[in-house]
């Protein structure tokens, strides 16, 4: 309990000479104290809370300078993502004095978020991350202008014009598709982007500015890991194969959609596996028929007999598969059933232990009953015009996790593979690797530091910054690379075209805009999304209205020049007119003239006579990359990516190669821990 003011007394007899004498611009009560404290901070919060904004502004001006502080106060910035990095970043933006901050996130708060996303509490579970983050962060600085959106950043309403209203955009996403979208929108709107991501102990911050730095797509991204369906269902060789089989095949076939929809399963059919694929599809149909038995006493035994006996007997008959490895071994159902009868259902809570086969059978039966009951309840509540309800895997769904763990372990035992604990299965099936809150905080701080250079128009001194656990350095930085001339996202020129959606045809776009205004020749092709809608040999769409081709307001259309000399690709941003066209106006017009540079000449290949033929100088030939000039390649704007992976850029090789060399050129390092254990491996994760 804070003592009454009448009992407080000055600490020093001569306050004017005391070394604790308060500064005129920092009205802290240094001279009033309780018996246990030299001064009481509560007094400042309770009595002088109205002075906090002035004190904070004064501190910011001394730290950043008057001009930069004013620029931040007048700024309007966008924060995409309110998860691990986003919470830390929002706090930093508010306390650094950014004037207007817009926060957008589609996700809701989950129990697993609370250990590192400090803005959220238990009472916020199931609520919008963006809305709660705004509410909590507003208390940090009452005069900050915050706006929150519980929405998908890829929604049509967040168009180029909306992005143009911001001074800087901060990316704090865990989703490759969304990151690529924000990257493209910022490039089109010519707005600086601060891209960031964390992977366990590792982190990265990158400044992206159109025409000056490389963008997010300038370096290739690793495609998500997928497993051939035949490996998963006929010849698993690793525990992860059994886990993905249980998660993406068995669970969906019994309670959800077919595994054909699962991104981890590659069911591509070719001449070598056509018969096997057909046989596996037959198995899937048999499993779906077992759905009718769910809820009956026989369901558990029927599913066990189908999955762990009959299917395995069929595989045992493929003798050629087992010439070099031990064939699968049948489980003794009767023996396991008897042993599991005395095992309590609470065994499933022992998530750090590797369960015995009998315990796995017990959990399998119990989780099957729980899931069946849940599905039946959903079916009873569903309306006739709604799709049939399904159950899907979620790492935080205890029922589905128990089912996947038990069935994966039973299958692993059949194929003589290592069994895994429920905790391990959760990590592997959910692509979950523990997040490090400190990494998020450091990355968020680096984002703000790099953004200050953008506000100072000092992009030349901005860096790509890396956090890493390897070597003696915890923080490394590298100069920003120039744009990749072959990047299909940032290399094209950008122009805006106003169209009348009711009248404009593809021919209007080609003749009136591309040829009459921009000077294109006879040979060009046009791509929209992943398809080609025009080339000199494909003119069927000329009389089609752009709207009927799917082109509408804020659509992106790519033009490929095939004339000589060849110009770089052109990205057209379609802007729908608010008013109908007059009689004298054209249905499609260029909003503003743009210059489309010629494609740079590629360096001449060395003559075959000059190439080395012997000795160490002979290098293996690198595989040829697909040309970005090909409309069939660059016309496809969307590339697949995993929402649970974050890839560091191609700077990694250079950075890691010089991580232990103090005088590495081009690398600025801050040594935080000279005694770091170089052999201690980190884990990789995308925070949500």
Residue 208 CB burial class (10 angstroms; 0-12, 13-18, ≥19): buried
3-state secondary structure 572-594: EEEEECCCCCCCCCCCEEECCCC
Task: Quote the tokens at residue 608.
Answer: 């075959």
Q: Are 276 and 234 in contact (CB under 8 A)?
A: yes
State the DSSP code for 567: B
- The angle formed by the CA atoms of residues 73, 75 and 81, to the nearest 5 degrees, is 115
Q: Is 490 a catalytic residue?
A: no
Q: Are 560 and 631 in contact (CB under 8 A)?
A: yes
Q: Are 399 and 377 in contact (CB under 8 A)?
A: no
Taking the C-alpha atoms of residue 593 and residue 497, their distance in angstroms, rounded to an integer, is 10
CA nearest 314: which of 330, 333, 325, 334? Answer: 330
Annotated active-site residue in 18, 230, 242, 487: 230
DSSP H or E stretch at residue 51: none
Task: Quote the tokens at residue 101.
Answer: 């901050």
DSSP H or E stretch at residue 88: helix 84-95
Q: Is 292 helix (H, G, I), strand (E, B) or coil?
A: helix
Residue 160 CB burial class (10 angstroms; 0-12, 13-18, ≥19): buried
Taking the C-alpha atoms of residue 478 and residue 219, their distance in angstroms, rounded to an integer, is 15
Question: Residue 259, Cα to own-chain centre: how many angstroms?
Answer: 23
Taking the C-alpha atoms of residue 87 and residue 129, their distance in angstroms, rounded to an integer, is 9
Cis bond leading into 119, ω under 30°? no
Strand 524-528: give its sheet, edge to edge: 531-534, 524-528, 556-561, 570-576, 493-499, 588-590
- Which amino acids are annotated catalytic? 230
């Amino acid at each position: 309990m804070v003592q009454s003011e009448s009992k407080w007394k000055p600490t020093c007899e001569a306050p004017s000479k005391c070394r604790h004498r308060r500064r005129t611009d920092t009205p802290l009560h240094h001279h009033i104290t309780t018996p246990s404290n030299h001064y009481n901070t509560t007094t400042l919060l309770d009595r002088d809370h109205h002075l906090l904004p002035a004190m904070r502004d004064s501190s910011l001006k001394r730290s950043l300078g008057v001009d930069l502080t004013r620029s931040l106060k007048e700024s309007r910035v966008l924060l995409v993502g309110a998860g691990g990095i986003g919470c830390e970043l929002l706090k930093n933006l508010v306390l650094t004095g950014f004037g207007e901050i817009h926060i957008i996130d589609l996700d809701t708060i989950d129990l697993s978020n609370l250990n590192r996303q400090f803005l959220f509490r238990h009472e916020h579970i199931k609520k919008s991350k963006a809305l709660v983050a705004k509410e909590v962060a507003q208390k940090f600085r009452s005069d900050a202008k915050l706006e929150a959106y519980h929405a998908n950043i890829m929604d049509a309403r967040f168009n180029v014009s909306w992005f143009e209203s911001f001074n800087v955009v901060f990316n704090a996403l865990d989703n490759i598709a969304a990151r690529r979208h924000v990257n493209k929108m910022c490039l089109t709107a010519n707005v600086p982007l601060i891209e960031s991501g964390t992977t366990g102990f590792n982190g990265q911050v990158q400044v992206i500015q159109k025409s000056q730095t490389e963008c997010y797509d300038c370096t290739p991204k690793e495609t998500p890991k997928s497993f051939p369906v035949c490996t998963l269902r006929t010849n698993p060789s690793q525990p992860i194969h059994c886990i993905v089989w249980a998660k993406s095949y068995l669970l969906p076939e019994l309670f959800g959609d077919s595994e054909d929809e699962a991104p981890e399963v590659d069911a591509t059919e070719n001449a070598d596996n056509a018969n096997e694929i057909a046989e596996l599809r037959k198995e899937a149909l048999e499993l779906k028929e077992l759905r009718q038995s769910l809820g009956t006493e026989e369901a558990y035994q029927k599913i066990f007999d189908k999955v762990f006996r009959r299917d395995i007997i069929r595989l045992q008959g493929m003798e050629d598969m087992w010439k070099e490895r031990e064939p699968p071994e049948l489980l003794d159902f009767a023996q396991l059933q008897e042993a599991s009868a005395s095992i309590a259902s609470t065994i499933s809570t022992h998530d750090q232990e590797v369960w015995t086969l009998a315990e796995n059978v017990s959990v399998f039966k119990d989780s099957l009953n729980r899931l069946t009951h849940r599905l039946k309840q959903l079916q009873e509540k569903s309306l006739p015009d709604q799709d049939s309800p399904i159950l899907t895997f979620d790492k935080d769904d205890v029922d589905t996790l128990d089912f996947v763990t038990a069935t994966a372990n039973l299958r692993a035992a059949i194929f003589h593979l290592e069994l895994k604990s429920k905790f391990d299965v959760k990590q592997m099936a959910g692509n979950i690797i523990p997040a490090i809150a400190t990494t998020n905080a450091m990355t968020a701080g680096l984002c703000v530091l790099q953004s200050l250079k953008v506000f100072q128009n000092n992009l030349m001194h901005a860096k790509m910054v890396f956090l890493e656990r390897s070597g003696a350095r915890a923080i490394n930085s590298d100069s920003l690379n120039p744009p990749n001339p072959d990047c299909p996202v940032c290399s094209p020129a950008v122009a805006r075209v106003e169209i009348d959606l009711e009248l404009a045809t593809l021919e209007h776009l080609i003749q009136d805009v591309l040829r009459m205004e921009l000077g294109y020749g006879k040979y060009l092709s046009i791509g929209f999304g992943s398809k080609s809608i025009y080339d000199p040999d494909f003119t069927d769409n000329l009389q089609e209205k752009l709207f009927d081709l799917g082109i509408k307001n804020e659509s992106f259309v790519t033009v490929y020049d095939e004339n000589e000399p060849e110009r770089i690709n052109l990205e057209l941003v379609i802007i729908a007119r608010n008013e109908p066209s007059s009689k004298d106006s054209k249905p499609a017009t260029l909003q503003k003239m743009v210059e489309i540079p010629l494609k740079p000449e590629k360096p001449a290949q060395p003559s075959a006579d000059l190439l080395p033929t012997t000795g160490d100088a002979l290098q293996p030939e690198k595989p040829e990359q697909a040309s970005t000039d090909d409309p069939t390649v660059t016309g496809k704007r969307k590339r697949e990516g995993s929402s649970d992976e974050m890839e560091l850029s191609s700077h990694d090789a250079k950075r890691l190669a010089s991580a232990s060399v103090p005088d590495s050129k081009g690398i600025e390092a801050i040594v935080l821990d000279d005694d770091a254990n170089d052999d201690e491996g980190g884990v990789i994760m995308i925070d949500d």
